[in-house]
Amino acid sequence: MNIILIGIQGSGKGTQAKLLTKKYGWKHITTGEIFRENINQKTNLGLQAKSYIEKGELVPDSIVYEIVSDAIQKANNGFILDGFPRNLEQTEFLLENFKIDKVVLLELSDEKAIERVMARVNCDSCGKDYNLLFSKPKNDGICDNCGGKIVRRKDDNEIAIKKRIEKFHLETEKAIDYFTEKKLVVKIDVSKGINEILSEIIAKIEQ
């Protein structure tokens, strides 16, 4: 299956995508992560994307299309898109070029979204995700997995997160309306536990 996970910042797209990937063997394609890796490795793509990302702006579509097409072409056994599409143009591009089976909409209020994003951190070395609200590392600032340093994403500051949430309402919601018209959307309330959310997603995509 080819699935899209869509939802506001902090709604847990990445967390659920990782769990679904493990269960089904699909490829997890996450545009934000691809950009962050390229920024760390100081590649050309990273240099192009960096200033947009740090301000909470969207990276230009042409750059995004290249990385998404490339990743989808390498997915031979289904994929989960996380972070793409984010506007109507990206949605049209996607549906013109690739087959999508289901769009899973993760629903969360703006208030909760901001609260969760401000509490999310991860390990500098192994990348393990934590949330200071409900999944803190055992020792402050130190990764349970590898002893690495716990850090916050540079764009998870209040100004950039508010801008991203505004963009979600202004642009990504148009993409959601379009998918709804095509009857591809299933909705999940994500104000509950990770495993409960996962079971609901599985039930709805297997329907």
Residues that bind Zn ion (CB under 5 A): 123, 125-126, 128, 143, 145-146, 148
Distance CA 68, CA 72 (A): 6
The interface partner of residue 148, options being ligand ADP, Zn ion, none and the CB cut-off 5 to 8 Å by kind, is: Zn ion
Q: How distant, in Å, are the alpha carbons of 68, 112, 157, 193, 196 from that of 199? A: 27, 21, 31, 10, 5
Residues 63-92 that bind ligand ADP (CB under 6 A): 64, 83-86, 90
For ligand ADP, the nearest residue by Cβ is: 32
Residues 106-165 that bind ligand ADP (CB under 6 A): 155, 164
30's tokens: 């996450």
User: Rounded to the nearest 5 degrees, what angle is found at the Cα of 153, between the Cα atoms of 152 and 154?
Assistant: 110
Per DSSP, what are the bridge partners of residue 6?
A: 105
Closest contact distance (angstroms) between CB of 86 and ligand ADP is 4
Question: Out of 36, 86, 102, 116, which one is annotated catalytic?
Answer: 86
Give yes or no for residue 12 binding ligand ADP (CB under 6 A). no
Placement of tokens 């208030």 in the chain: 111
The closest alpha carbon to 64, from 105, 95, 30, belongs to 30
Distance in angstroms between the alpha carbons of the first and the last residue of the chain: 13
36 is catalytic: no
Residues 177-206 that bind ligand ADP (CB under 6 A): none
86 is catalytic: yes
For ligand ADP, which residue of 15, 16, 20, 35 counts as binding (CB under 6 A)? Answer: 35
For ligand ADP, which residue of 6, 32, 94, 201 counts as binding (CB under 6 A)? Answer: 32
Task: Please identify every residue annotated as catalytic.
Answer: 13, 86, 120, 153, 164
